[in-house]
Amino acid sequence: MRNPAMYAAASRDRFVALAAMGEVVEGSKNIAAYVGVSQPTILKMIHAGEIPAFVVGNKLQVSKSLLDAWLLMRQLHALNAAVGEPAQPKPVRK
């Protein structure tokens, strides 16, 4: 069985490594600016679990690649809603 503390530490270490490569957006103001919403809105989204984030030290951090994927999914859902198509593809029956 995995030790949750070890798993959290490994995830945190990975985020620190990503931050060193510039792959992390730090701070709620920067995250909000990157996404294009207000700071209170981004904090609500993070607390609701819509956007995965970590606190490293005293800084809130989010992976750029996760944010980019999340933004793309939001855009696709908005486009599908605009043309009246379902957001998820329907299963193909045989």
Distance CA 71, CA 36 (A): 10
Q: How high is the pLDDT of residue 49?
A: 87
pLDDT band at residue 32 under the 50/70/90 scheme:
very high
Q: What is the mean pLDDT of residues 28-39?
A: 92
State whether residue 92 is helix, strand or coil: coil
Distance CA 27, CA 58 (A): 9
Q: How high is the pLDDT of residue 57?
A: 83
Q: How high is the pLDDT of residue 3?
A: 44
Q: How high is the pLDDT of residue 16?
A: 59
Q: How high is the pLDDT of residue 20?
A: 56
Q: What is the mean pLDDT of residues 53-74?
A: 87
Amino acid at 3: N
Q: How high is the pLDDT of residue 44?
A: 93
Nearest-5° Cα angle at 78, 72 to 80: 100
